[in-house]
Every structure is written in structure tokens, then in C-alpha cells.
């Protein structure tokens, strides 16, 4: 359920990756191969940095494959950093406020996966959201609450640490409610400067997640692919599942791992270790 992708690098027309790749995210809305469901037709979202103040967000409840406005927007907006997400709803309503990316100020957030038995945990988790931000939660997804929890425990100063504390908090609340294996997730986060991604599940295999190889490797592997040859140092793609036309160009992000991509394309990897912190629990 759900697939996402993120681009960081040179400024490109967004449709270059959304529509013009083989098995890009829009194709995955109709024919996902590695996701929990082949069809991700319950909404689309794009968050992009570019002209104007902060990131723009486009949310649609129409399936991505048939959304003409998305096609137009993608073909006429350039961006050096964007995140796109296709949704397969599992119970929660199909509405724009349930579409990713979620945004506050300069921050964008996407999630593939779920909080198990979320209806049992929702009240306690929403109580842990900063009370002054409570009214900002306007949809009904688990993902939006995860984002606001992460903001509450410091996403803006320490993204990965805040997600570790958030997941720790969720696992702790879940334990109290007798919910096992509560967190299944890949996360994508950006502030317009860096791009962070996480792959983690409390139990069992986490949803798939891949990063593109460094640009030199890509070019060597695909000397005849004009799109790849236009890549420059510092271009990096993170995807739920690889584009089909670039075999060998992807490195799987291991389980329980966080990565950070900075300007220049450097990819840092570190373990993702959820933990419960006293202050977080009190919040």
C-alpha cells in the first residue's frame, strides 16, 4: 500500500521522472510490482521545491495514471528536489487531506506502510502531539499523526533522531494496547536542503526502498540511456521500487536503516534505532 519517490539534484522538469521513466511512480500507481498491492489508485501527492515560498504541494484523489492536471503540472514545473507519492487506502477516506506529502513550513513528509490497529492507538498518539499543533491534524491517516509526532519531538532540528523517538513512542503506546508489530514504514523527509529516508519495521521485512547508484556508476552502466547521460554529479533518486529501464543502478537500503542525501549527492547511511525518551512520552 503506497509507493513513493524522491529526487534531489539538478533542477529538472518533474515529468522527466514521473512520466518519462519506465515503471516510474505513475506507472506504479497502476502496476506496482513490489508493493503490498498492485494498484495504488487512491490518491496522489507531489511536493516540490522551486519558485515561490517553501514547497508547493499538489494533492489529488484521482488515480495518478489518469490525472491530466498532474501531467500538466509535472511537464511545466522544474525542481531540484521533490517527493511524489501514490496511495492505496486501507480503510481511511480517499480525500486530499489524507494524501502525502504532508507539509509544515519548509518540511515535507511521506510514508509507505502503516501503524497496525491505528484506531486503537489514535487517541493516545494524538494526545502526544504538541497541543498547540493539535488542530493542524486535519485528515484521518496514521501517517499524518506520525508526521506531527515527529515535529513534536524535534523533526526540524534532528530528523532521524526525531523519527527514532516517534517510532519508539508508537511502539511503546502499542505495547500498552497489546498491539504487536505496530510499525511498518519507509519514510521520506525533506526541508528543501537535505533528503532523509528511513526503512524500518517493528517485525518482519520492511517495505522495499532503494537509492540510485552514484552518477559515475549510472553512466558507466547505461552509456546509451540519454536520460542517464544528462545526470550530473549530485543527482540522486530514492524510490520504493526501481525504475525498470535502469538495471543494476539501484542499491537496496537495508532494513532498520536511515540515509541522508545532501547537496552534492553524497549518501550517508546509519542504523535506525527507535527509542523511548522520557520527555517524548510526557509530551
Q: Which residues of this chain interact with a second copy, rule CB under 8 A?
A: 13, 15, 30, 38-39, 41-42, 48, 50-53, 55-63, 66, 68-69, 72-73, 75-78, 89, 92-97, 118-120, 122-123, 126-127, 131, 134-135, 138-140
119: Cβ contacts below 8 Å, ≥ 6 apart: none
Q: How far is the CB of 253 from a second copy (least distance, A)?
A: 29
**Toward a second copy, which CB reaches closer, 65 or 187?**
65
Give the SS3 label for residue 6.
strand
Q: How far is the CB of 81 from a second copy (least distance, A)?
A: 13
Distance CA 56, CA 62 (A): 19
- Helix orientation angle between 159-176 and 142-152, rounded to the nearest 10 degrees: 120
CB atoms within 10 A of CB 44: 27
Q: How far is the CB of 158 from a second copy (least distance, A)?
A: 26
- What residues pair up with 64 in beta bridges, in sequence order? none
- Greatest Cα pair distance, the chain, in angstroms, is 56
**Toward a second copy, which CB reaches closer, 15 or 164?**
15
**Toward a second copy, which CB reaches closer, 118 or 187?**
118
- Helix orientation angle between 142-152 and 118-127, rounded to the nearest 10 degrees: 30
**Toward a second copy, which CB reaches closer, 11 or 217?**
11
Can you tell me which residue has the cell 495514471?
65
**Toward a second copy, which CB reaches closer, 175 or 275?**
175
Q: How far is the CB of 52 from a second copy (least distance, A)?
A: 4
Distance CA 61, CA 168 (A): 32
What kind and span of H or E run contains 146?
helix 142-152
Q: How far is the CB of 266 from a second copy (least distance, A)?
A: 27
Q: How far is the CB of 54 from a second copy (least distance, A)?
A: 9
**Toward a second copy, which CB reaches closer, 46 or 267?**
46
C-alpha cell of residue 21: 521513466
Amino acid at each position: 500500500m503506497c509507493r513513493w519517490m524522491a529526487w534531489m539534484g539538478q533542477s529538472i522538469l518533474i515529468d522527466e521522472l514521473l512520466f518519462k521513466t519506465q515503471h516510474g511512480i505513475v506507472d506504479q500507481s497502476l502496476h506496482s510490482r513490489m508493493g503490498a498491492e498492485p494498484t495504488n489508485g487512491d490518491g496522489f501527492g507531489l511536493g516540490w521545491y522551486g519558485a515561490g515560498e517553501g514547497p508547493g504541494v499538489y494533492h489529488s484523489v484521482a488515480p495518478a495514471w489518469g490525472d491530466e492536471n498532474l501531467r500538466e503540472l509535472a511537464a511545466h514545473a522544474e525542481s531540484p528536489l521533490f517527493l511524489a507519492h501514490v496511495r492505496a487506502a486501507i480503510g481511511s477516506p480517499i480525500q486530499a487531506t489524507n494524501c502525502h506529502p504532508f507539509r509544515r513550513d519548509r518540511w515535507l513528509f511521506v510514508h509507505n506502510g502503516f501503524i497496525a490497529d491505528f484506531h486503537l492507538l489514535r487517541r493516545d498518539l494524538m494526545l502526544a502531539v504538541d497541543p498547540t499543533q493539535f488542530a493542524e491534524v486535519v485528515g484521518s491517516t496514521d501517517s499524518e499523526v506520525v508526521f506531527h509526532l515527529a515535529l513534536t519531538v524535534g523533526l526540524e532540528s534532528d530528523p532521524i533522531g526525531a523519527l527514532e523517538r516517534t517510532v519508539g513512542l508508537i511502539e511503546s503506546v502499542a505495547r500498552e494496547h497489546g498491539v504487536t508489530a505496530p510499525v511498518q514504514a519507509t519514510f521520506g523527509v525533506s526541508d528543501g536542503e537535505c533528503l532523509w529516508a528511513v526503512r524500518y519495521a517493528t517485525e518482519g521485512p520492511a517495505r522495499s526502498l532503494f537509492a540510485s547508484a552514484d552518477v559515475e556508476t549510472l553512466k558507466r552502466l547505461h552509456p546509451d540511456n540519454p536520460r542517464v547521460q544528462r545526470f550530473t554529479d549530485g543527482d540522486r533518486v530514492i524510490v520504493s521500487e526501481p525504475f525498470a529501464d535502469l538495471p543494476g543502478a539501484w542499491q537496496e537500503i537495508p532494513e532498520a536503516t536511515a540515509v541522508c542525501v545532501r547537496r552534492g549527492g553524497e549518501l550517508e547511511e546509519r542504523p535506525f534505532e527507535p527509542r523511548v525518551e522520557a520527555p517524548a512520552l510526557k509530551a
